[in-house]
Amino acid sequence: MTSQYRRPDVRQEEDHLPWRRILAIAFAVIVIFATLGAWSWMILRGREAALRAGGRTMEHARDGFQPRGVVAGVDQRIFRRQATGEEGLGKVLNRRKREELGRFGWADRERGIVQIPIEDAMGLVAEESR
């Protein structure tokens, strides 16, 4: 930095920025960023292809989408039976569990624990906290 007050006994050099070094570092940062971006994109595409049923998206499936028995480790037959179109075992189980949450009964008769509908239980807990 140049100042109007100069001392003759102190040697002062002119300010000089190493533009080549600055540009080289900026270029290296851009190259590293582009390389990591391309690498992450390739990993993402590979993972999507591994998880996608048949490696196709719904837009590419011209013949319609028919779920297989097991897709990406999930047994689809639990949710819907393909041949008849009726509910699968998982949906039946979920419906039964929801019905259990909506009725009164004994959870453990020996210990004196009862079950009440979930809506009533939430109301009781809200009243207690007031």
**CA atoms of 62 and 50, how far apart (whole Å):** 20
* pLDDT for residue 27: 98
pLDDT given at position 15: 80
For residue 34, the model assigns a pLDDT of 98
Every domain of the chain and the residues it spans? 13-59
Local confidence pLDDT in tens for the 130 residues of the chain: 556 677 778 877 778 889 999 999 999 999 999 999 999 999 999 888 888 766 555 555 545 555 555 556 666 666 665 556 667 777 788 888 888 888 888 888 899 888 888 888 889 999 988 8
pLDDT given for residue 9 in this prediction: 83
CA–CA dist 72, 125 (Å, integer): 40
pTM of the model: 0.35
The DSSP annotation for 44-107 comes to HHHHHHHHSGGG--TTT-TT-----SEETTEEGGGTB-TTT--B-HHHHHHHHHHHHHTS-EEE
